[in-house]
Structures are given as structure tokens and as C-alpha cells.
Amino acid sequence: MKAAADLFARLDDPTGPDAKIAALLGYFQTAPDGDKLWTVALLSGRTPKRIVTANQLRAWAIACAGLKDWLFEDSYRVVGDLSETIALVLPPPSRHENHSLTHWIKTIKRLSRMDEETRKSAILNIWDGMPAAERFWFIKLLTGGLRAGTSESLLIRALAQLTGQDEPAITYRLNGTWSPDTTTWHNLIEASDPQLALSHPYPFQPSQQVENIADLGNPAEWQATHAWGGARCQFILRGGSHALWSQDGALITDQVPELAPLRDFLPDGTVIEGALRAFAGDAPLGADAVHARITRKKITKAMRAETQLVLIANDLLEHDGSDLRQSTLDIRHKHLKNHLTSTPDQLPLRLSSAVEFASWSDLETQRQTARTAGADGLLLRHRDSPYLASKTMRWIWNAPPLTVDAVLIYAQAGPQSRANLFTEFTFAVWNGQTLTPFTRTSTGLTDADLAELSTWVRKNTQSKFGPVRQVTPTHVFEIAFDDIHASPRHKSGVALRFPRVLRWHKDKPVTEANTLDDLKDMRATYG
Amino acid sequence: MADVLTFTKRGIYCAAGDFYIDPSKPVERALVTHGHSDHARSGMTRYLATRSAKPVIQHRLGPNAVIDTIAFGETRQIGDATVSFHPAGHVPGSAQIRVSVKGEVWVASGDYKTVDDGLSEPFEPVPCHAFITECTFGLPIFNWTPKDILARQINDWWATNKAAGRFSVLGAYALGKAQRLLTTVNPDIGPILTHGAIEATNIVLRNQGITLPQTIPVTPELNVHDHPGALILATPGAMAQPWGAQFGPDVSTAFASGWMALRGQRRRRAMDRGFVVSDHADWAGLNTAIRETGATKVFATHGYTGSFRRWLAEQGYDAQIVATDDPADA
């Protein structure tokens, strides 16, 4: 398992994506097929079932190393990771057995069928044949907690380079419920699959942020629709089956089963671009509800009952099997409308309705109220523009951010290089007579602000909790954010998207800061 | 019987001989274990150090420092105390200091390691009644990589980088660690460049007869790109500064330290690699060293003193903590 452990360690090092891809390629070029398959499974989150608890391993390691409980605890506090602490305290191995990754996973599976005593002596024996660097990853395997520091998207890039396929093809291959027990490296990665090509999305048209709306020229030449915060995606229907791709390259067909019935109503050879929106019955939910759904591996009935996803169609990229991207937006939109008028209303597919406007100032008014409609802002596209990977055809005009006035209550010192400055701040709003924290940020503060605040924090610290200092409530800041939603994990009951400091209200008394009720009202209106 | 050594704000003090060991504030007479700046500080009226430690200490403290020397194992009477210096294996010339007063023997370890690095005079256990031990790495999570594996790791890293046309920038402390790395790597892989502070120490050590592989100092006149694929030994400070930028973006960075045993520390350093190499004793080294002194009384200083003291107490030692003004504890 040396090669696999080396790979996991290289992926875990704080290097850039290029070094990680190089490490993956090096491994895939030399490892046996079985190990490659298991590595792909592990790195895409398909870890074998946990057969021992971390606490059992901890107890065995303490006994094996001849330590005391408290000494292990002191060590754990320094290391910060239980598997790593165990790997480090074990006595040096008496031999080195270099078996394949597949061998160890098979061993783990076999151990799962044995009683605890047998399992314990087998594991102690395995540890005695492994250097610490391998033990660490082996323990992660045992506890089902192997998460090498890489994303699935890096793995996909590496496999694409390795096999000369494109990334959507690899994404498609890795999707779904497979395990190394049900497939082979060849079948999963290399074998030809006619559905592969059919499932391919088009490159998404890039967007630009509007800075000065008048630069766009004649308002009559532009179409405006709402810009939705939920995932931008392509719905692809070809060869009788469908696929749903998000803009970040994830295949989310199985995460949005609501869209499967579209197959029965749309003609084959259709590609619709749109955004997902979440609803609970008729009530719209925030972008967070969409993300909560599409980032899950498995979708349960309960999740479907809780939120329903709807595709808000923006564009038509393929019509009757032919590529429509060279046609103008007006033409594409006409075909899209035809599709939507000929499908039943109860389908989870709606047209992103046009925002009517006569002038830019007219549109500015609409932008101001976009958040009330649940949108992040407006999407502007030139009526004669093709769907191209060009930067000047698709513009997002963000609605003004939501803002509250909040009181600074905690400050935290920066990482090593900025340890002399406080760089993370926690802000609170009034909840009756007490201040309830609701967000933490440093974005938006200038270096001069940070220096001034740090000096002030040092003089006004009430108490310390590790690196965090509680300060006398004195300063009021205006905090801006893009979205607010309910979050039972937070004391305030709300979580913000992209919070940042808009300004420091040096003249504002803390009594004039906003209240938790104000935040809850915002959540009810915009969340 | 009065204690042979006491712990004061100025450092470890011997009343019988009226001297300090590794004092932190200016005193008349300082016995210095080795040349690292937290042990050999400026401002003492007179210093006493081993012959092989003196050149570096003189280099660091300047020509005006008055440094007497003593050979390893040689005894010297200071007041009512008899002192001798014994190899600590930490860096070239580093010593444990043995102090005997009326038959009671105490040993101050300074910094030490029990494995032979092939460069420093190897550690020797000194029988004593009381032992003052450092415990920088006094937790069972610290177990050093064997020398041969370490050499292979560093050589593989360097050779791979060289083959890919990259520089290998390796961070290490200027005295001890840097020279240990120089004698660990395989100089046949390629040229070795050194930061000025490291090269200055190299010169001092070469002058006292220590053999080091050939190195090329990085000076403003040197075009580093004339030495593609070189290994560059840098001080930790220099790596973060503009100095590190002259090698361009195509470098692999690594750091050599005992702390690199911890994944969190490796990630915090944000280097491409971390090599576990330390000039301090690891867990097993500390335990063996203490046992071999035969001491019944042990003082723990510098490091995980709380945990280590408790461990020693449970092993049956009369164990205590020496309070220091170590900034790391602050």
C-alpha cells in the first residue's frame, strides 16, 4: 500500500492542483488495475464500511504503545486528529509488508465478519508491518474516514488526461452507484459507451457583471430576465434518456429526479439551459435549498417531500437534434417558448419570464426590487446574440445587497503571517438586552481598518477564549450580504451568503444596531 | 544538602561556583552548552564553551566576546564546584554540563539528541543524581524517521524536481540542521546552493575541520539559473522573503524539522513537503537518555513540560518543571 499511501500523502500536501494532478497521473500510470479502481472509488467518496470505531482503535493503540490514557489525550490535543495520533504513538513496525491497496481492503472486509478479539489481534499485527505514514491512511480506511485532500473534480481532470477523454465523459462514467465489487477498471473508465457522447453538455456561456448599465447601449436590443441564485444547469435529452449537468461540471441527474418526467413531453434532441429553484409546495425557498439537494449523494423520499426542484428555463441550445447555439437569442427563445407552451403546466419546468422595461432607469427600478421576487438580480442578453463562449453576450446586474447594522463582539488573530493583527470579526444584533452573534467576516475591511481595530481590540478585551477575544461592545458596522436563510445550527437561527463589511459607522451608538427580529423579517421576505 | 543548581530569572545558577548555565540575561560568568541564540546570548563578561563550539559562538557573538574553552571530558574547578562538558549530540560542539559539588552531581542537558548525525560529537549518557532535560518533543507522537529512510525521502524529492527542471528549496536552521542535511543528501544529484547565513556557518565549521560537501553561496552576483535543478538550502526566514522569489515560480519547497511529523504543522507551513528531521531527542530518545543517567531527580524544561513531568513522575522519578521565560510558552 506504499504507492497508494504516497499518493494520498501527496494529495494531502498543501500543493496546487497541478502537483496533485501530476501525483495522480504518476500513480495511475504504474498501479495495478485493481488498486486504480479502488483509488478512484475512495477519492470519489465510495469508502468501505467502517468496521471498528475510532475509540476501539484508540484503546488498542494505548495498550500496544504502553501509554496512559491521559498521555494519549495530551498528544491528541497537540496532533488534532485521532487517526494520526494513533498512527504516531504506535511502536515502530518490526517488519514491512508491502501489500496492494486491494489486498488491504479485502482484508478489512474479511475482518468485518470476525469477532472483536480476532479483529483486534489481526489489526495489531497489520500495524506491526506498516510504517507510520501507511498506518495513518490504513486507520482512515478502517474508520471509513479516508478523505484525501483532493476534490472529485481534480480526480476527473487527472483521469481525463490519463485516458484522453474529456471531463464530462469521465464525470459521466464515475456517476451513479457503482463499487469496485460490481465493475472493473476497464468497464468503468475505458470501455466504450454509446450513451457517453449523448449525455455531453455544451460549454456554458460565460457571464460578466454589469458595472455601468449605460455601456450596454440601446435598451431595446436587450432582453432582461431574473437571475436566480440556484444552480445553473443544462437539461439534456438525447437518445431517449436524459442528463442534468450543473455549471461546475457535476452530473446531477439523480439528485433532481423531479425532471425525469420531462422525457415524456419534450422531443428527443433537446438541450435546455436554466437555473434550478427550490419550492416547498408553492412557497419559494432560497438558493441554499437547491445546493443542499444537489450536493447529496442519495436523495431520500423525505428530501423530495420537503423541497421540490423546478427548472427555470433560460435558453434552448439544441432543438430537434441540431445545435442552435449560432442562432440569435430571439430565435432560441421562440423555440423555447413553443416547447413550454406545449408541455403540461404541472411539469417542474417554467420559462424565466421576461422583465419588461423601456429604459435603463426603468430597469434600475426593477433591479432594486429583484430580491423580493427571490432573484439575485437581473440577467441581460443581447437579442441578436448567439450562445457563445464569449464574454460580452451575457450580463448579470446584481440587485443591491441586503444590509444590517451590527455590533462587533469578538475578534480573532490572523494566521501566522498576520498574527499581529486581528483579522476575523464576529458581529451581533440585539435580541432584547443581549447581543446575539450572527456572522463572522473580515471581507471589506481595509488594512488601515484592521490596524486601527487591532490596536483597539488589544485595549478593550474583556476575556479570551483561546485565540478569540471578547471585546466591549462599542463599534457598529454595516454588514452587507447576498442572501439570508434559516439555519438551526447557528445561535441566531439564520445564515448569510457572502457577508462583508460595507462601512464602519464610527458615529453610531451600539443601541442603534439592528435586532434579531429585523434579521428574521429579512429571512421571511428574502430567504 | 543544598541544591547544586537553582533556577533563577537569569538562568540556571550554581551558587557553589557562582556561574550560570545558558543565562538569559547578562551575568559575569556563563557556561554555554552550544551556539544557538537561545543558549549563547550576548552580554556576558566571560563565557566557557567546548573547543568545537567556540568558533560558531565567537562568529555569532562577535570578536569582543571573551570565550574560554574546555575539552570534552576535561574537569575544571570553579569555586567549590567541579564542572565538565560532555557531548550532547545536538550540533557540532554541543555539550551537556556536569556540575559536581561535594559529591552531588547534577547535569544540565542543554539541547540534545541521542542518534548519531555523523556530524556532532555523539551523545554520551552522564551518570548523575539530578538531570535537567529539555523536552521539546516530549510526547509519544514524536518518533524520528530512521536516517536511511530520511536520506532516501530527501534525495528522491530533489532528484524528481531536478528531472522536472525545478529548483528544490529546503528550509532549515543555519546552525546544525543545515549542515546535517548537507551530509545527508547525495551531492551527486546536482549542485547545492546556500543562503548567506548558512554558508557563513559552513565556513566556520569547515575551518575547524568538519567536512561538508561543496556548496555555492547565493550572492547578488550569482545567476541562480546557471545551476538548474539545484538544491537550495535556505533559512526559514529567507524562504518567505523576496530572497526566495529569485528562483522563480518553478520551485518545490520543503521544510526540515521535527514538527513536520505533524500533518497540521506541515499544512500550516504550506510547503510542498515536510521532512521529519530534528536535532532534539524524540520520545524514545528522551526516555532512554534519562534512564541511562541513573538520576532519581529530573527537571523538565523547554517543551511539553507538563505532560512530560507527569509521565516521569508516574515512572517513579522525582520530576519537576523548570519555569522558563521561553517565548514559546508565553
The pLDDT tens digits for B163-198 are 999 999 999 999 999 999 999 999 999 999 999 999
Instruction: Determine whether B247 is exposed, middle or buried from the number of CB atoms within 10 Å of its CB (0-12, 13-18, 19+).
Output: buried
Query: What single-letter DSSP state applies at residue A251?
Result: B
Phi, psi of B209 (to 5 degrees): 100, 10
In a domain, A312, yes or no: yes
Same domain, A352 and A306: yes
pLDDT attached to residue B326: 41
Q: How far is residue A260's CA from residue A254's CA, in Å, rounded to a whole number?
A: 9
Cβ separation A14–B143 shorter than 8 A: no
Same domain, A98 and A229: no
Q: Does A19 touch chain B (CB under 8 A)?
A: yes
The CA angle A130-A83-A489, to the nearest 5 degrees, is 160
- pLDDT exceeds cutoff 50 at B33: yes
Q: Cβ atoms within 10 A of the Cβ of B64, count?
A: 7
The C-alpha of A145 sits at a distance from chain B's nearest C-alpha, in angstroms, of 16
Q: Does A77 touch chain B (CB under 8 A)?
A: no
Same domain, A448 and A312: no
Q: How is A278-315 classified by DSSP, letter by letter?
A: EEETTEE--HHHHHHHHT-SS--HHHHHH-EEEEEEEE
- pLDDT exceeds cutoff 80 at B241: no
pLDDT attached to residue B92: 95
In a domain, A79, yes or no: yes
Residue recorded with cell 510558552: B329
Same domain, A345 and A406: no
Question: What is the torsional sign of CA B86, B89, B93, B95?
Answer: negative
Give the helix/strand (H/E) hosting A523: helix A516-526
Give the helix/strand (H/E) hosting A26: helix A17-30
Q: How far is residue B22's CA from residue A197's CA, in Å, rounded to a whole number?
A: 73
Same domain, A85 and A219: no
In a domain, A332, yes or no: yes
CATH of the domain at A128: 1.10.3260.10
CATH of the domain at A223: 3.30.470.30
Q: Which residues pair with B48 in a beta bridge?
A: B31, B68
In a domain, A260, yes or no: yes
Give percent of chain B above pLDDT 70. Answer: 97
The C-alpha of B62 sits at a distance from chain A's nearest C-alpha, in angstroms, of 31
The C-alpha of B68 sits at a distance from chain A's nearest C-alpha, in angstroms, of 40
Contact residues, chain A, for B311 at CB < 8 Å: 68, 71
Per-residue H/E/C for chain B: CCCCCEEECCEEEECCCCEEECCCCCCCEEECCCCCCCCCCCCCCEEEEECCCHHHHHHHHCCCCCEEEECECCEEEECCEEEEEEECCCCCCCEEEEEEECCEEEEECCCCCCCCCCCCCCCCCCCCCEEEEEECCCCCCCCCCCHHHHHHHHHHHHHHHHHCCCEEEEECCCCCHHHHHHHHCCCCCCCEEECHHHHHHHHHHHHCCCCCCCCEECCCCCCHHHCCCCEEEECHHHHHCHHHHHHCCCEEEEEECHHHHCHHHHHHHCCCEEECCCCCCCHHHHHHHHHHHCCCEEEEEEECHHHHHHHHHHCCCEEEECCCCCHHHC
Task: Look at residues A357, A374, A398 and tell me which one is the last residue of a structural domain.
Answer: A398
In a domain, A358, yes or no: yes
**Using one digit for the tens of pLDDT, what is the confidence trace for B295-307?**
999 999 988 999 9
Q: Which residues pair with A311 in a beta bridge?
A: A276, A349
Query: What range does the domain containing A46 cover?
Result: 2-142
Buried b (16+ CB within 10 A) or exposed e, A27-51: bbeebeebbbbbbbbbbbeebbeeb
Contacts of B104 (CB under 8 A, 6+ apart): B1, B4, B129, B130
In terms of pLDDT, which residue wins out, B193 or B247? Answer: B193
Task: Look at residues A363, A398, A433 and tell me which one is the last residue of a structural domain.
Answer: A398
In a domain, A182, yes or no: no
Cβ separation B304–A88 shorter than 8 A: no
Q: How confident is the model at residue B1 (pLDDT cuts 50, 70, 90)?
A: low
Q: Which of A15, A20, A135 to mutate to test the interface with B (most CBs of B within 10 A)?
A: A15
pLDDT by residue for chain A (527 residues), tens only, comes to 889 999 998 888 777 888 899 999 999 999 999 999 999 999 988 888 888 888 999 999 999 999 999 999 999 999 988 999 999 999 989 998 889 999 999 999 999 889 999 999 999 999 999 987 899 999 999 987 777 666 788 999 999 999 999 998 998 898 877 889 989 999 999 998 877 878 889 989 988 999 999 999 999 999 999 999 889 999 999 988 999 999 988 899 999 999 999 999 999 999 999 999 999 988 888 888 899 899 888 899 999 999 999 999 999 999 999 999 999 999 999 999 999 998 898 899 999 988 999 999 999 999 998 888 888 899 999 999 999 866 678 999 999 999 999 999 999 877 655 667 888 899 999 999 999 999 999 899 998 999 999 999 999 999 887 778 999 999 999 999 988 888 888 889 999 988 999 999 999 999 999 999 999 998 888 76
Q: Does A6 touch chain B (CB under 8 A)?
A: no
Same domain, A268 and A295: yes
CA-based R_g, chain B, Å: 20
Task: Look at residues A107, A142, A177 and tell me which one is the last residue of a structural domain.
Answer: A142
pLDDT attached to residue B328: 35
**End-to-end CA gap in chain A:** 49
Phi, psi of A503 (to 5 degrees): -155, 160
Query: Which of A256, A244, A246 lies closest to A304, judged by CA?
Result: A256
Q: Which of A13, A85, A86, A464 to mutate to test the interface with B (most CBs of B within 10 A)?
A: A13
The C-alpha of A238 sits at a distance from chain B's nearest C-alpha, in angstroms, of 44
| Domains of chain B, CATH where assigned | 6-141+280-329 (3.60.15.10), 147-275 (3.40.50.10890)
- Tell me the ipTM for this assembly: 0.91
Q: How is A50-119 classified by DSSP, letter by letter?
A: P-S-HHHHHHHHHHHHT--HHHHHHHHHHH--HHHHHHHHSPPPSS-----HHHHHHHHHHHTTS-HHHH
The CA angle B117-B118-B123, to the nearest 5 degrees, is 60
Same domain, A338 and A465: no
Q: How far is residue B166's CA from residue A154's CA, in Å, rounded to a whole number?
A: 23
Q: Cβ atoms within 10 A of the Cβ of B271, count?
A: 22
Same domain, A269 and A359: yes
In a domain, A375, yes or no: yes
Domains of chain A: total: 3
Mean pLDDT over residues B227-240, rounded? Answer: 90
In a domain, A427, yes or no: yes
CATH of the domain at A511: 2.40.50.140
Same domain, A436 and A375: no
Q: How far is residue A252's CA from residue A419's CA, in Å, rounded to a whole number?
A: 42
Same domain, A97 and A6: yes
**Using one digit for the tens of pLDDT, what is the confidence trace for A35-72?**
999 999 999 888 888 888 889 999 999 999 999 999 99
Q: Does A68 touch chain B (CB under 8 A)?
A: yes
Cβ separation B262–A15 shorter than 8 A: no
Give percent of chain B above pLDDT 90. Answer: 85
Same domain, A51 and A127: yes
Are B301 and B135 in contact, with CB atoms under 8 Å apart? yes
Same domain, A356 and A466: no
